[in-house]
Amino acid sequence: MKKKVYRVRTQYIFEGVFDVVAESKEDARQKVLQNCGLVMGGNIHSTLPDEEVNWTFSAHSEVRTGRITIQEEQIE
């Protein structure tokens, strides 16, 4: 039986909040964009001092699949 290789577009969506000490909404937004994130295989992190940031995120992501395309055929 021949099998095919399929490419499945996938999104893992982690939702949560960063509580950030900032001077304005834009300042808070910039601090999160520049200093906070998630590393695949790692943890949610921030380079801001602990007294300036706190976060709450669910450990379980929402998974969405999108377009599926055939990449190549394999001969078995």
Task: Tell me how far apart the alpha carbons of residues 57 and 51 are, in angstroms, rounded to a whole number.
Answer: 18
Whether the per-residue pLDDT at 75 is higher than 60: the answer is no
Reported confidence tier of residue 74, pLDDT bands at 50, 70, 90: low
Of 39, 44, 37, nearest to 59 (Cα)?
44
Encoded tokens for 10: 């996938």
Task: Tell me how far apart the alpha carbons of residues 38 and 29 are, in angstroms, rounded to a whole number.
Answer: 16
Whether the per-residue pLDDT at 76 is higher than 80: the answer is no
pLDDT digits (tens, 9 = 90+) for 26-45: 999 999 999 998 877 777 78
Query: Domain-by-domain residue ranges, the chain?
Result: 3-70
- Per-residue model confidence (pLDDT) at position 71: 86
pLDDT digits (tens, 9 = 90+) for 7-31: 999 998 888 999 999 999 999 999 9
Chain-wide mean pLDDT for the chain?
A: 87
